[in-house]
């Protein structure tokens, strides 16, 4: 667990982006505090809220999140990646994250398709469920491990 007063050897800025409602808040709360909330926030439906370049500044990693059960959120990752690339260093480590893997019965994006897109974008790909605690820690630590390699 991370505590602000603990000593650390490295500090990396990693951004979480993707459409509203894909689960960014819950992925972070699951990873940081092992908490999950069923509540939907008021931001749902507000796609592409204005993000200033200050949000991206200095980031060396990104989790680009989509909802495996809502195909449009997968399609929109292309635009999120575009925005990310226009504000960050080309060496930024990107993890494409298909969240809500627990919603198997209404899945709308195949592993193969997501993987092929990630490969094309030179990104890593993983599937997570913040609800069922699947792969969440691996998604974050995967990015951090890769950053560590890049930073050397
Ligand atoms: P954000 O807008 O990207 O930050 O998304 P939130 O974290 O607020 O989540 C939006 C909604 O999706 C909430 O109702 C969450 O309970 C739900 N949610 C988040 N992650 C998952 C998940 O892994 N599985 C399921 N079934 N629902 C999730």
ipTM for this model: 0.99
What confidence tens digit (pLDDT) does each residue in 110-125 have? 999 999 999 999 999 9
Question: Within 13 Å, how many C-alpha atoms sit on residue 87's CB side?
Answer: 20
CA of 17 to the centre of ligand 1 (A): 13
Token representation of residue 47: 């796609």
Pocket around ligand 1 at a 6 A CB cut-off: 20-26, 37-38, 40-41, 43, 99-100, 102-103, 129-131
Convert the pLDDT of each residue in 29-79 to its tens digit.
Answer: 999 999 999 987 755 544 465 556 788 989 999 999 999 999 999 999 999
What pLDDT was estimated at residue 46? 43
Task: Indicate if the alpha-carbon torsion angle 55, 56, 57, 63 is positive or negative.
Answer: positive
Q: 48 C-alpha vs ligand 1 centroid, how far in Å?
A: 17
Among candidate residues 126, 109, 111, the one with its CA nearest the CA of residue 64? 126
Ligand 1: residue of 23, 104, 106 to mutate (most ligand atoms within 8 A of CB) is: 23
Residue-level pLDDT at 151: 72
- Whether the per-residue pLDDT at 1 is higher than 60: the answer is no
- Centroid of ligand 1 to alpha carbon of 119 (angstroms): 26
């Amino acid at each position: 667990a991370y505590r602000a007063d603990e000593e650390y050897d490295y500090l990396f800025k990693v951004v979480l982006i993707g459409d509203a409602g894909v689960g960014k808040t819950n992925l972070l709360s699951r990873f940081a505090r092992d908490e999950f909330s069923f509540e939907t926030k008021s931001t749902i439906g507000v796609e592409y809220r204005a993000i200033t370049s200050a949000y991206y500044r200095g980031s060396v990693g990104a989790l680009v999140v989509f909802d495996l059960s809502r195909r449009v959120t997968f399609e929109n990752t292309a635009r999120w990646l575009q925005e990310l690339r226009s504000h960050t260093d080309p060496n930024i480590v990107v993890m494409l994250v298909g969240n809500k893997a627990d919603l198997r019965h209404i899945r709308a994006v195949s592993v193969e398709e997501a993987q092929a897109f990630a490969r094309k974008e030179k990104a890593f790909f993983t599937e997570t469920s913040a609800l069922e605690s699947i792969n969440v820690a691996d998604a974050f630590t995967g990015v951090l491990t890769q950053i560590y390699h890049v930073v050397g």
